[in-house]
Amino acid sequence: MMSKARGKFITVEGGEGAGKSTNIDVIKTYLEEQGIDYVQTREPGGTLIAEKMRRLLLDKHDETMNPLAELLLVFAARAQHIASLIKPSLDSGDWVLCDRFTDATYAYQGCGRKLNSELVGQLETLVQRELRPDLTIILDMEPRVGLERARQRGDLDRFEIEKLEFFDRVRSCYLDIAQAEPERCVVINAEEDFPTVRRAVLAALHQRLGGAD
């Protein structure tokens, strides 16, 4: 029996309330229609241990989390996620569909928290070695609009209580990444209505990835 080719790695990024969950459902339907085996996951998190680290990252605490501790915790969760889920899945031929990945670290810790992006890059090399997404969809929108959507949902996490300037830095970081890596990243205007965004997501999948071969 012929073994399956290595799977492809798709990540979805964007600011608060940009529609990641909504459009991940669109991508799942596409993969299913193409007969592609995939696993859906998210960061921070994706495995039992990494999900515990997610709680530490997102919950509000009586003590301020040091930005460097936050950065290291993000990468600790990622190391676990890659070893336990992402790499074995890709090696077995399954595709991996991940809600956020390292671009979020450049955006939130590198730019939002103003940590050194070079440091993020060093940890990326240490933790991921050669692993990079094959396709990254960046859902771009004015932070004010996305925050409003997130706030309507109620209970805000430790990131969602940040000031607007923080999210402006996050957004421009994502756009800089997309400009620097056009072969990997597709920016989609997430302020459009849902059918328009959906069409743009599907077009990106067709153009960049084709089918399972």
DSSP of 122-165, one letter per residue?
HHHHHHHTT---SEEEEEE--HHHHHHHHHHT----TTTTS-HH
| Pairwise CA distance, residues 61 & 57, whole Å | 10
8 binds ligand Z5A per the rule CB under 6 A: no
Q: Does 165 bind ligand Z5A (CB under 6 A)?
A: no
3-state class of 61 per DSSP?
Answer: coil
80 counts as binding ligand Z5A under rule CB under 6 A = no
55 touches ligand Z5A (CB under 6 A): no
Alpha-carbon span 160 to 189, nearest angstrom = 21
Phi first, then psi, for residue 18 (nearest 5°) are -75, -10
81 binds ligand Z5A (CB under 6 A): no
Please report how close the Cβ of residue 75 comes to ligand Z5A at its closest, in angstroms: 8
Closer to ligand Z5A by CB, 32 or 157: give it: 157
Strand order in the sheet with 38-42: 38-42, 95-99, 9-14, 135-140, 185-189
Regarding 177 and contact with ligand Z5A (CB under 6 A), the answer is no
Q: Which of 9, 11, 31, 44 binds ligand Z5A (CB under 6 A)?
A: 44
CB of 188 to ligand Z5A, least distance (A): 10
| Residue numbers at the binding site for ligand Z5A (CB under 6 A) | 14, 16-22, 43-44, 58, 74, 99-100, 104-105, 108-109, 149-150, 157, 159-160, 193-194, 197
